[in-house]
Structure 1
Amino acid sequence: MISLNKKSSLRNSLFLLLLSFQIQAQKNNSSTYDYAYDFEDGMAKVLGFDSEEGYIDKNGNEVIPLGKFKFSDHSYSNGLKTIRIPSGSETKYGFIDKNGTIKIEPIYENAYPFKDGLAAVQKNGKWGYIDTNGKTVINFKYKRISFFSEGLASVALDEKYGYINQKGELIIPYQYDWTFGFTEGLAKVNDGYKSTYYINTKGERKFADNTNDLNNGEFSSGLAIIKQNDKDGFINKEGKIVILPSYDKAYKFSGDIAIVIINRKYVLIDKKGSVISNQSYDDALYFKNGLCSVKLNKKWGCVDATGKIVIPIIYDRIGSFSEGLLSVNLNGKNFYIDQNNNCKIFCD
């Protein structure tokens, strides 16, 4: 038999537990955060009104509380996220999992996110690579380093760059002043003699690029941006100009569509350089998952590859579609919608 005092105590405990759930439910709503970011790897970063950072899952639950960690600018990748921890007068970097548990201790001077199972980290002034268990896979010996892309990473022991594989084996010798990562089997490099060209993954020279442009050179959907006379156009994988450099600014293709700027207006073009729609925009974000976020008359919405409005242009702030969700802000409220403009998270 339970005494009256015990019943009262149990009732009070249940009440407090229920109240805590209610408070938590009230906490995570459209007014909780100052900013909500796109989802990556099942997690989305949120900002509090004092710039505290946290993370939510796709149910809107605050999995990593605001202010618990200081994060790098990179998103979750391979289930892990880079964090920054003060250590005396220095800052140390480590990695947490999706529950906010530290999986790789913050012992590094710098760290980049995981890609293809490896992360570039710095220790004692030198760079190397670790796996998702924190095990050193490629020793700390590099002066400069990059992400792995298509199985290769550009690294420098001293002043010249070469490319290594994921075993740390040198595949393309140290000979370049600067390099791009490989995209669609090609990488743009400069050999130090004002000679810029593209190579394949064997290091074989494929074709020249006489622009010496450090801002463009990645292939996407078979095309790469080229700049001539301060105008952007596109080349194919043989180095031939297929869309004449006539744009104030061009962004890489996503499928068959690219965004370009003409007279300060954003328009959509196809691979022939033809304008998709007569409608131009005041701003636009990169195409993602078949949709492009566009701004018109100070409001944001989304169009598809034909220029058709899919998400009405009514929002004050917007992200890009990722993992089936889009972060939007309307009248100071942050929430997430799907491709049918239905609210899915923070729908109060």
Structure 2
Amino acid sequence: MILSLFSCSKRFKPSTNENEYSELTELNSKDTLFRISKSKFYEMGDDFAFMNRKGDTLISSENIYFTFKDTITTFGIILERETYDLIGINRKGERIFEVYMYDNGPDYISEGLFRIKKNGKIGFANEKGEIIIKPQFECASNFENGIATVTYDCYLYYDLDEHLRSESDSWFEIDKTGKRIE
């Protein structure tokens, strides 16, 4: 039965223009989407679908290589099949932002926020996927004690241990609303 639902499902459409992003759909949705897989144990590359409680398939895995959660309430994080980009999607499977990659996976939530990217710039979203600080920075740290260190220009390079490093002469601190701390 799931096989027939997969065939008529709505497909995830990767953005063809980096300026094309969608919005979150329903922030307080009571209709959680559940990942349903044909295999007993879900692994990278497996076919799956996100279905609602009624059994309607809302998102298929056609362009998704991996999903990091088995449910979607407001947004989900997926690994795009062709590019291996980390993408934040809404409940319709539409791109809302790219998720900042950290240590071979999506950025972790620190003090309720995690780093996202839009058009190559870094910003911050909350656990619901709402963008709290619009993407505008070239480099940014996670929040610690209510403060993140950011810059509008930085140089990225890999050190001898192949860790990504960033350098800038113009770092400054912001609070969790994005205001500059003087």
Please report the TM-score for the alignment, with normalisation by the length of structure 1: 0.26
Identify the structure with bigger relative contact order (alpha carbons < 8 Å, sequence gap 6+).
2
